[in-house]
Amino acid sequence: MRELIIEADRMNLPEVQMFIDEQLEEAGCPMLTQISIDVAVEELFVNIASYAYGDGHGKAVVQVSVHEEPLSVEITFIDNGVQYDPLAKADPDTALSAKERKKGGLGIFMVKNTMDNVSYEYKDGKNILTIKKNLN
């Protein structure tokens, strides 16, 4: 497992993505899979940067583990911000037009539908959100 501890700031998104992409490339991740992981990472990191600490500042921890059997990647985001389970929110009704839908929730919905597994827990004052994607 590799770990990056970084200020939860939108400006740090390129560094987070570069950190993850290096591991994906080492693992031989197909480009289309890498792109879908990058989109999920952007959604999750920007949400932490935007909402976890309110008007304050705080750190985000990003952990990346590559597993061999089956070949997969697990990426965990940890913050000490306000407790929030994004998976508890109901999925948006995509049958409605964009005007008719309530604002918010579409990004997390997309993450849940493009990753193979998404989990959340709140433990020891920390939000811990993990995504997993098979690389084969």
* Mean pLDDT score across all residues of the chain: 91
Helix (H) / strand (E) element for 123: namely strand 117-123
Burial of residue 24 (number of CB atoms within 10 Å: 0-12, 13-18, 19+) = buried
Mean pLDDT of all residues in 46-52: 95
Kindly state the tokens that stand for 115.
């990753």
Rounded average pLDDT over 69-74: 94
Q: In 3-state terms, what secondary structure has residue 6?
A: strand
| Contact of 45 with 6, CB cutoff 8 Å | no
If one counts the domains in the chain, the total is: 1
CATH of the domain at 73: 3.30.565.10
pLDDT tens string 76-113? 999 999 999 999 876 555 555 555 545 554 678 899 99
Structure tokens given for 77? 């985001």
Domain of residue 107, residue span: 2-134
3-state secondary structure of 82: coil
